[in-house]
Amino acid sequence: MKIKNVLVDTVLLVCAIFSAGFGLKGFLLSSHFIDGGVTGISMLMADITKTPLSVLIFIINIPFLILGYRKLGLKFAVKSAAAIAGLSLCLAFVHFPDVTHDKLLTAVFGGVFIGAGIGMAIRGGAVLDGTEIAALLVSKRAQIVRVSDVILILNVVIFVVAVFTLGVESGLYSILTYLSASKMIDFILNGLEQYTGMTVVSTKGEEIRVAITQSLGRGVTVYQGKSGYGKDGHINSPREIIFTVATRLEVPLLKREILKIDPAAFIVQTSVDDTTGGLLKKKSGH
Per the prediction, the chain carries an average pLDDT of 83
End-to-end CA distance of the chain: 33
pLDDT of 240-272, one tens digit each? 788 988 877 678 888 888 888 988 888 898 877
pLDDT band at 284 (very low <50, low <70, confident <90, very high): very low
Residue 286 has pLDDT above 50, yes or no: no
* Mean local confidence (pLDDT), 210-233: 74
Residue 143: DSSP 8-state: S
Q: Characterize the bridge pairing of strands 238-247 and 266-272.
A: unpaired
pTM recorded for the entire structure:
0.73
For 164-224, give the DSSP string: HHH-HHHHHHHHHHHHHHHHHHHHHHH-S--EEEEEEEETTHHHHHHIIIIIS---EEEEE
pLDDT value of position 141 = 60
Domains and CATH numbers, the chain: 2-190 (no CATH), 195-272 (3.30.70.120)
pLDDT value of position 223 = 84
Q: Is 37 left (phi over 0), alpha (psi -120 to 50) or beta?
A: left
Give the span between the Cα atoms of 61 and 151, in whole angstroms: 15
Please answer whether residues 60 and 38 qualify as being in contact, where contact means their C-beta atoms are separated by less than 8 angstroms.
yes
User: Which range has the top average pLDDT, 70-79, 169-178, 191-200, 226-235?
Assistant: 169-178
Q: 137-141, 142-146, 247-251, 253-257: lowest mean pLDDT where? A: 142-146
Return all residues near 41 (Cβ < 8 A) that are at least 6 apart: 60, 158
Return all residues near 246 (Cβ < 8 A) that are at least 6 apart: 195, 196, 198, 218, 254
* Mean local confidence (pLDDT), 110-130: 90
pLDDT of 30-60, one tens digit each? 888 998 888 999 999 998 888 999 999 999 9
Residue 51: DSSP 8-state: -
Please answer whether residues 44 and 162 qualify as being in contact, where contact means their C-beta atoms are separated by less than 8 angstroms.
yes
pLDDT of 83-97, one tens digit each? 999 999 999 999 999
Q: Which of 24, 42, 37, 128 is nearest to 79 (CA)?
A: 128
Residue 236 has pLDDT above 80, yes or no: no
More confident residue, 89 or 276: 89
* Mean local confidence (pLDDT), 5-23: 93
pLDDT value of position 201 = 87
pLDDT band at 130 (very low <50, low <70, confident <90, very high): confident
